[in-house]
């Protein structure tokens, strides 16, 4: 196996000093055009690839951002199963690249530490999506690098944050169903635990029912895993409750799954049951029928997370930033109007 070409090899080939090679490659210092051409010819001839890790030791910047995506269920590949994460990562990757940063994506299990890898890779900042145990955040704080939390309800002043008002979004979605005449409204959701997005959306669902004098009963709540297959499976239980005329799904991937499941059982959406989603992932628009959902700008979440972290890296004494993006109803084809509810 051929050994890696070093900066010393390039300097020898070009007949200049190592410092000159560094000046040319980093575009620093004044180097004659003739010398620069010799250096670049040597780089091309030897197929020299700069050692980024070595460069980071000198500049104290790796140009690497860590991105942590939640793995909250054992053996679940959430990054692959839910388009929500790919849309978010698209925003992160594009704007990181625009600012000359690269990203390292990790699907971290909830019982594993992340700090060691961040320090080993000399990361300049970390973007963390979702909720984790308190101990995870305490470990992250030891890294002493900028960290942005996305979709997290961790109330710690150390971290920057980007999120939406999940409770209000779920309230809007449920209210939309009620205002279309539905009174027996089920909720399809992930496991409802204290803190985090799932609980906030469940509380928003309850808020809307309470405002209109409707009750939340156990037979209206369907808890499981936030993925497409669980949506399909849940349809069997949902149709057992003959009173349900509408369903609020706490994530689009659940809504799309349950629509397919209901169809397989002979129930039509929205003729037999209306379905409201949450997120507005791109598939929701091209799905048949088009999904009525609570819209949030997932791509922009990634963009804002990067902009915050880059600002924190490049500017001293940068104050904590908290960004709350708007939500709205995207009407399509999965909600049937029964009668107006006053």
Q: pLDDT per residue over 42-55, tens digit each?
A: 988 888 877 655 55
Higher pLDDT, 129 or 294: 294
Q: pLDDT per residue over 6-45, tens digit each?
A: 888 888 999 998 888 877 887 766 788 899 999 999 988 8
Higher pLDDT, 309 or 3: 309
Q: How far is CA 323 from CA 50, 98, 160, 203, 332, in A?
A: 37, 21, 8, 21, 28
Residue 81 has pLDDT above 90, yes or no: no
Torsion sign (Cα): 49, 107, 251, 159: negative
**pLDDT attached to residue 296:** 98
Q: pLDDT per residue over 123-169, tens digit each?
A: 888 999 988 888 888 878 777 788 999 999 988 888 999 999 999 99
**pLDDT attached to residue 194:** 86
* Cα–Cα distance, 245 to 76 (Å, whole number): 31
Q: How confident is the model at residue 342 (pLDDT cuts 50, 70, 90)?
A: very low
* Cα–Cα distance, 28 to 14 (Å, whole number): 18
Mean pLDDT of 68-94: 76
Q: Average pLDDT over the chain, rounded to whole? A: 87
Q: Is the pTM of this model over 0.85?
A: no
By CB neighbour count within 10 A (0-12 exposed, 13-18 middle, 19+ buried), where does 4 fall? exposed
Higher pLDDT, 106 or 331: 331
Residue 234 has pLDDT above 80, yes or no: yes
Least confident of 6-15, 97-106, 108-117: 108-117
**pLDDT attached to residue 55:** 55
Coil, strand, or helix at residue 29? coil
């Amino acid at each position: 196996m051929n050994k890696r070409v070093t900066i010393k090899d390039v300097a020898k080939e070009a007949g200049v000093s190592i410092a000159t090679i560094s000046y040319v490659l980093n575009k620093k210092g004044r180097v004659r055009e003739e010398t620069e051409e010799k250096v670049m010819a040597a780089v091309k001839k030897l197929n020299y690839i700069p050692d980024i890790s070595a460069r980071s030791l000198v500049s104290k910047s790796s140009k690497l951002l860590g991105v942590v995506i939640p793995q909250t269920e054992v053996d679940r590949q959430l990054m692959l199963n839910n388009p929500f994460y790919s849309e978010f990562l698209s925003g992160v990757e594009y704007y990181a690249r625009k600012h000359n940063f690269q990203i390292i994506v990790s699907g971290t299990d909830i019982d594993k530490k992340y700090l060691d890898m961040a320090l080993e890779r000399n990361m300049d900042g970390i973007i963390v999506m979702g909720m984790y145990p308190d101990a995870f955040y305490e470990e992250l704080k030891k890294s002493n690098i900028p960290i942005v939390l996305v979709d997290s309800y961790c109330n710690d002043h150390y971290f920057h944050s980007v999120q939406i008002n999940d409770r209000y979004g779920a309230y809007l979605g449920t209210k939309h169903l009620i205002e279309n005449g539905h009174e027996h409204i089920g909720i399809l959701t992930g496991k409802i635990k204290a803190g985090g997005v799932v609980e906030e959306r469940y509380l928003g669902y309850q808020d809307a029912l309470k405002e209109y004098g409707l009750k939340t009963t156990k037979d209206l709540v369907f808890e499981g895993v936030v993925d497409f297959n669980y949506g399909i499976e849940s349809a069997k239980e949902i149709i057992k409750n003959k009173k349900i005329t509408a369903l609020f799904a706490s994530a689009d991937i659940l809504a799309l799954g349950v629509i397919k499941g209901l169809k397989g059982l002979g129930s039509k959406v929205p003729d037999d049951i209306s379905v409201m989603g949450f997120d507005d992932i791109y598939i929701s628009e091209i799905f048949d029928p088009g999904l009525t959902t609570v819209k949030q700008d997932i791509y922009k979440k990634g963009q804002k997370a990067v902009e915050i972290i880059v600002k924190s890296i490049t500017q001293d004494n940068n104050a904590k930033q908290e960004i709350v993006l708007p939500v709205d109803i995207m009407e399509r084809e999965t909600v049937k109007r029964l009668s107006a509810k006053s």
